[in-house]
Amino acid sequence: MTPTVQDRGTVRSRKALVAGSVGNFIEWYEFGVYGYFATIIAARFFTPEGGGEVEALVKTYASFALAFFFRPVGAALFGRLGDRIGRRPVLILVISLMTGATTLIGALPTYDTAGALAPWLLTFLRVLQGLSAGGEFGGAVSVMTEFAPPGRRGLYGSWQSFTVALGLLGGAGAAALLATVLTEEQLGDWGWRLPFLLTLPLGLGALWLRLRLDETPAFRREGEAERPPGREVAGAIALGAGRIMGWAAAGYTFLVVLPSYLQSTLDATFQQALIATVLANLGFAVTIVPAGLLSDRLGRRTVMLTGALLVVVLAVPLLNLLQNPGVSLTVKGAAVCGAGAVVGLMAGPGPAMLAELFPTNVRCMGLGLAYALSNAVFSGCAGLIITETIERTGSVDIPAYYAAATCAVSVLALARAPRTRAGKPKAPVEALVEAPGREGEVR
């Protein structure tokens, strides 16, 4: 039987979904591994003779943050390329760069071997990762949403966030497995390298998938259209960054920073901290795709507002529960799982919401920059801000205050209704029409 046009379109959409999401999995797998092994990396790369553990951890998170601050540079550079030469070649380039940099981290000499050169080499590779990650999001989300069938952009875009959750879970699972089968000495000596080296075969598989990817119909049709004024694009970028600020900050607070916080502040063991993180990421993963699907029916803003408001209300009680020694481990596990689930309500509709803010010929750069800027400030700095503030103030509630405050700002940004004229949103914020089932067109 000859495939129909609809069948071929469905196959292309699914290929685009897989090819776009696989790079996100690798990116966040590595970022998760780096966060979960932060205390070991601190000891191996940032603790010269006489340095303290807290000082080393702060330096490790500074390197973590530096990679995030190069994301906007990557988003601008690769996003501009993606809007001019196409999504496909950029996705091929960024997955190659990410795979090479991550694999090399697993082979780096430590401070004991290379002295002061070791942290500089690590930081350089983190910068390369930041550049590639900045280009990854804009290209991948553009591909997913531009290939998505009508009325399914929320669902298709949510797979970007879902593979983030899978990547973080993969990193946490690898770390937990190594912590179980290796001794503490083996883990610190060489075991931490294995998850980074595993990126090589994963990246080669992702590269193969992207080489087989078609260019999006939207780019072929509208890539050369007149671009909107820079002032309007900048306004859309700022609005998008504000709307996902809470997602960025709460996500990294609950899903990545949590292990080091539990160890350094609440005296949890490495294994206990990793189990808590796995549970948080499980909750995160479970709600993402349903939230994206729900946003196709109710609107992006409704679902994301619900998640942001829940974080504002529940962040402090959640952290107080974790601090209470009288609360059972089962209840604490359910609490961190619930925290991850709430973040998923923002992460599911988030990619489609960003894609719908921009026309095709600036979408790759626009949504990439909005995401990268928000993550650079509110995710990349989360560990550094939280660790340093706890050290200076002595308050163990800082993570909750941080997550709640940023989500409060997102509530305000999400509550701002788009201005429309004659039934059409003001360019380039062309989409987010909040009536249920009437999200804006990704042209």
- Domain with 371 in it: what CATH number? 1.20.1250.20
CA atoms within 13 A on the CB side of 182: 18
Question: What is the pLDDT at residue 375?
Answer: 83
Q: Is residue 218 part of a domain?
A: no
User: What is the secondary structure of 80-98 as a DSSP string?
Assistant: HHHHHT-HHHHHHHHHHHH
Provide the domain count of the chain: 1
Task: Output the CA torsion sign for 407, 413, 417, 421.
Answer: negative
Question: What is the pLDDT at residue 312?
Answer: 96
Question: What is the pLDDT at residue 425?
Answer: 38
Q: Is residue 440 part of a domain?
A: no
Q: Is residue 221 part of a domain?
A: no
Nearest Cα to 431, choosing from 376, 362, 374, 372? 362
For residue 229, say if its preceding peptide bond is cis, omega within 30 degrees of 0. Answer: no
Q: Is residue 443 part of a domain?
A: no
324, 189 Cβ separation under 8 angstroms: no
Report pLDDT digits (tens) over 99-118.
999 899 999 998 888 888 88
Question: What is the pLDDT at residue 441?
Answer: 41
Q: Is residue 434 part of a domain?
A: no
Question: What is the pLDDT at residue 51?
Answer: 53
Domain span at 170: 13-213+229-425
Report pLDDT digits (tens) over 366-410.
999 999 999 888 877 777 788 788 888 888 888 899 999 999 999
Q: Is residue 104 part of a domain?
A: yes
Q: Which two tokens stand for residue 57?
A: 């951890």
Q: Which two tokens stand for residue 237?
A: 């970028």
Q: Report the C-alpha gap between 129 and 110 in whole angstroms.
A: 19
**What b/e string do you get for 32-64 counting C-beta neighbours within 10 Å, with b at 16 or more?**
bbbbbbbbbbbbbbbbeeeeeeeebbbbbbbbb
Q: Is residue 148 part of a domain?
A: yes
Q: Is residue 197 part of a domain?
A: yes
Question: What is the pLDDT at residue 427?
Answer: 41
Task: Output the CA torsion sign for 200, 206, 209, 213.
Answer: negative
**Alpha-carbon dihedral angle through residues 148, 365, 425, 219, given to the nearest 10 degrees:** -50
For the full predicted model, state whether its pTM sits above 0.85: no
Question: What is the pLDDT at residue 363?
Answer: 94
Question: What is the pLDDT at residue 415?
Answer: 87
- pLDDT lower than 70: segments of the chain: 1-9, 47-65, 223-225, 259-260, 417-443
Q: Which two tokens stand for residue 437?
A: 């089932």
End-to-end CA distance of the chain: 32
DSSP, res 269: -
